[in-house]
Every structure is written in C-alpha cells, then in structure tokens.
Structure 1
C-alpha cells in the first residue's frame, strides 16, 4: 500500500537543517516487496557499511537501532523488522552519477616534474564567506610562497579533478602513500565545465564524461586552462593520517566510505547515516542497499545522489560513465516513517 503525506517541517527537524532550507517534498510509504531486487541483495554487506557510521546517529530511534546492529543480527530481517521504505520526491527527475578517490603521483618537494601544489586553506578564509575566485587565485598567485603547500603533483588537470572529488591518495616519490581530504573551499559555488562544453557546442550531452573533459583540456592547453577557470570554486586539502590504506576516504560523517555501498546525498531530504535502497537504471543497472554517508556541492535534490566507486583510475572510469535515471528509497525507523506518512493516509 502506498501512502502519501506532504510536509517539510517534520523532515527538516529529522535531518537537523533549517526549515527554510528544505523545500516541500512528497513522501510515499512503500513495502519492501515494492523494492525491485530487494530479496537478491547482500544485506550483510549493507549492514557492515551501516555500522561504519551509525554510532554518529544520536537522535530518536537511531541510537538504539545502532546498538542492535552491533550484535550482528540477520541483516535482511533486521532492516525489514525495524525500518520502513519511504520514497521522498521533490518534483525533479532522479539523477545518479558516480564519484571516486583519485590516485595521483606526487612529491613532498617541488621538482621540474612535480610543480603543481595542493594547498591547505589560508587562515584568513572564514567559513561561509566568499574569498577569491579560482581565476583570481591563479592570476594573482595568491597562495604561493606562504607555506601552504601539502605536496606537489605532476598534472594540473588532475589537481582540478581532485578538487571536484574532494579527496584522494598521492603516491609519493619515496614510495609512501599520502591521503588527502577536503580542507575547505573559497566559498564560491561550483560551476560545471562539462555543461559549459555542451553550451559551447563542443560536445553533446551524451558525449560528456570526466575522461572526455580531461582529454579535451590536455589537447587544448590554452583554452583548457581558461575552461577550468569557468568554475570559480577552489578546494583546499588537509592531510589524512587516521585512515588505514585498505579503507575508503573520509566522508561527510568523518568515517570511511565504502565502494559501491556509500551514497553522497542531499541531507535536506535524506538523513546522513540512513540506509537507502538504490534502483539505478542505465546500461549497468544497480539494485542495492546503500548508506547515505557523504554529501557533495553538486548533489541537490530528493532524488539526486552520487555513488562511490572506489579508488584509482579504474574506479574513475566507471564513475565517469554514470549519469542515469532511476529512484532511491530511504529506509527510516518505523516511528519516524509513520510520523512523515501516518498509517492510513492515502
């Protein structure tokens, strides 16, 4: 049975955001049998991913559900007994894309090969306050000579895409691996260079991918540098030392994300830490129980999400091909679900 209830104040309180930031949405209470492929998934793998971040959930029933999950119950039974699927829609079409953790070559000291720095955030930048744009930073050389460099890498295009991803690993010349994470930004809104190439007529919508954009920038160095400046956002990094090499990068919940089990979502609609059933269409359809453990500046909307594909070039190629429709359904504790969609509402 599908039940519908319209509100935004309840959801806003649930995700701890200000009501004026959460547009009105429609909620439909579903049954687990409504989820295509639900019975075929590896629910134990999803439970392991849920456990990575559930200790961060302190509100309502989440804390007690986390304690129960730590006893390692039968995973499928656990989700079906204590959660209800809720479809959240805001009138916009669903869109699912992919992201990954890049792996770059770098050095702790500058050399003729390694001459493109990754920067820490300058101390004068205040959170929420716009600072210099990407163009202004580059044209005024505002960051160099200030001791803000974490390391130097060999490809400025890779630096740009590392900023889009927000985290990555640097394979250093001494054989060690350094992981870097998001350390702040210049407070400017992200602007898509892929959309700009489409607007200019260089490519059509179905041709654009991260790899296509990178190749175009490298083939056209002067125009490419100017294209990158179309995005005024500039991301700074920090060194991440507490994450084992075998685990994924740190997400928005300050815990490692998991390959093909973590989603980046819009927390105005989907609570961070919540299980989310994903039905992604496209050439490589995906039916899987994920966990909302990350966010992204381009992830806006109730049915908008990024799928984490892992680390390295292969993961990057897979992530870059994904731009598909479908739907996602958030699993909420029973009482929370019925507070949004009272039983009996049609």
Structure 2
C-alpha cells in the first residue's frame, strides 16, 4: 500500500534562503499525522507545496500514489480537502449557504452538505449566519468545506490556533475520529505538541526546513526516558560506590538522601542496586523520571545552538 503523501528531497527557498530543505516526508494511509515545528519551521510552505499553491525549487511531491504536476494537479486536488490558515466564508450567509457555494465550486452534489454538517457537529446551527459563530464553530465550518466531496486526504494548517481549551478539546475529538468517520487520512500542522498529541498517531518534526524526526507517536515517546532518583540511607557512600562503577551521581540540594542518576537501561539499574546492597548501602526508593513530550519536542528543535 503506497503512502498518501511522499516528498522526495523537497526544497523551497526565497532570496537564497532555504525554507524547506531536502524534505523526505512519508504519510501512511489511514492515520492522523502530526506535522510539528516552531513558527517559521517551514510547515505552511510545505503544505502549500503539497497543494500546488507554491512551486518547489527542488524535489517532488507524490499525492495518492501519483507525482503532483501541472497536468494532474486539479484531478489530485479533487481528492484532497484543505484548511490553510483561517477559514474563509461569507459572514452574512448561513453555514448551509456557504457550503452550497463551495459545493457548486467543487462540482459536488449539494446532498453532501447534510453529511459534512453532521460530521463537524454543526447540523443544529446550519441555518445561523456565520457572523454569529464562535471561532471554534468557524473552524469546524472550514473543515466541513474541506470534507465536501469525500476527499481521501485532508490537510489542516494549525486548526487549533486561537481556540479556547474547550474548542481545542472539541477539535481534538473531531480530528482524531476523521479516518474512521470519513475515510480520510489527515495531515495536521501545529507548533504546540501538547495541543495535538491526543489526536495523532504519526509524527514528523520540522525545524529550519529539515525533518528532525518521523515515526509513530509511540516511537517519539521512547525518547522520554529521563534520569533516575535513588533514595538511599547513606548518600555519600552510595555516590562513592557508584563512582567506582563509572556512574556519576548528583545529590539535589533539597534532598540530601537522594541521588540523581543519568538515564540507564533497566538491566544496568538493577545491577547497580545489587552492587549498592552488597556494599552495605540500603536503597529506600527508586523513581524513574520521564520527559514530557513537550520537552522532547524542544530538545529536538534546539539545533545549532538555537532554541526554536
């Protein structure tokens, strides 16, 4: 089964400055793919190249198993829905009227409007003027427009931007269910991992136009192993024993009975605890620290001495 999106050494530069730099992106079918990176990382430029709105200066794009070109762009984009930046719409018209206009532009049967309204939970507000909508409702209307015609691929650029916590939670639930409710693969961008980690199962992290990580959310979480806190009865003696084993331990100023160890494999940690016991040092407790996904994201995007 071919990926829904593949890019091959995709590049885009402006005035000699690379914005997207030899990007090799792979988005599997049937997933919600989180495209992450700080503001200015190149996410929006990449999405615009995927939609043929911006021409690359190098490399190529494959959508739905076919190379994107001027000759087949319109045909491929008929199978692709998108919401780039803020949703557009006529504020003086109702949601249903806005969707009717978009359906006609897409040459989609207006009968599809009821289906997309139900998916984004706007059926009961379909005949209200869009000017009366909250930002979250406008975002959902934008997604409904993108879903007209049952696209196989949905590209969403920062859809949680500006939403309050309730709106973010609502958007999470909506997008996470998209592959099941619509059959569409979803590519969603954000500069905040915490806002979308509950809705994605694949992740790509971009910084300065380069892909730093690509894989499943579970693979990213494997990077979360942090240090170890070891509570002992005799911290100085324990530190000396560990030093003999080649393990450097620090004693936190506010926890004189605790040693802070670097990340260690389980087998190595078990062996150290046995060594401490054999040396007459009692181990009272052990806590394995973990990095948050936000910490992992920040550590990956701190490249070349620059903090993203």
Same fold (TM over 0.5): no
The structure, 1 or 2, with the larger RCO (C-alpha pairs under 8 Å, 6+ apart) is 1
The normalised TM-score by structure 1 is 0.22
The normalised TM-score by structure 2 is 0.24
Larger Rg: 2
